Amino acid sequence: MAALLDKSGARTFVTKVCRPDELDQTLAAIQSVSPPKPTSMLAADGTRHSVLLDFYVDDKGEPRMPVVLNSPSPAYSLAAVAALSQWRFSTPTRGGQPVAVRARQEFIFTNGS
């Protein structure tokens, strides 16, 4: 059993956390939000930055416990985490039962027009 924190900070307990390859079907984002470019990073030089997040998708399809694995700065990290918190996923299931699953998402930021 694993405890995941919901948005209010309360613990939600799930009995099964599985790998993506154990799901009945591929995890899919059903609602996604693009992160805004940090205003302090809007140089028009065409630079590409990425933020890689590791997180769980709970048994209701909501992202939980994001961890920044790679980011060029805290401003990009905050923008990516804020965007991910608004995402919703298809309910992950294994054997027809809702489960939690670990996932990763890369957010790409391109400076310039």
Domains delineated in the chain: 2-110 (3.30.2420.10)
Tokens standing for residue 63: 């992202």
Determine the Cα–Cα distance for residues 101 and 1; give it in Å rounded to an integer. 13
Residue 95: pLDDT over 70: yes
Give residue for tokens 């805290």: 74
Tokens standing for residue 90: 């298809």
Number of helices (H) and strands (E), helices first, in the chain? 1, 10
The pLDDT confidence band at residue 37, using thresholds 50, 70 and 90, is confident
pTM for the model: 0.80
The pLDDT confidence band at residue 86, using thresholds 50, 70 and 90, is very high
